[in-house]
Amino acid sequence: MDLSEFKLGTKLETKKPHPCGGKEWEIVRTGADYKIKCLTCGRTVMLSPDELIKRVKRAGEQR
């Protein structure tokens, strides 16, 4: 997986579910860190690029 796939608005599926049960996320901020938002409960999480690559199962379409 390459960082060029992770653009603003891209939907992601993580390997492990969030505690709320959701596996679908959306990128809401890019830069030195990435901010992703859970599409089930609305919680946001900041991740480093390395951590994001490690957690993502697949990247979907953009909004």
pLDDT digits (tens, 9 = 90+) for 5-17: 889 999 999 999 9
Neighbours of 16 (CB within 10 A): 8
pLDDT at 62: 66
Strands (E), 1-63: 10-14, 24-29, 34-38, 44-47, 56-62
pLDDT at position 63 over 90: no
pLDDT digits (tens, 9 = 90+) for 2-55: 788 889 999 999 999 999 999 999 999 999 999 999 999 999 999 999 999 999
pLDDT at 50: 94
Domain count, the chain: 1
Q: By residue range, what is the domain housing residue 34? A: 3-62
CB 19 within 8 A of CB 8: no
Q: What is the CATH number of the domain that holds 17?
A: 2.30.30
Return the C-alpha torsion angle 28, 34, 35, 37, nearest 10: 70
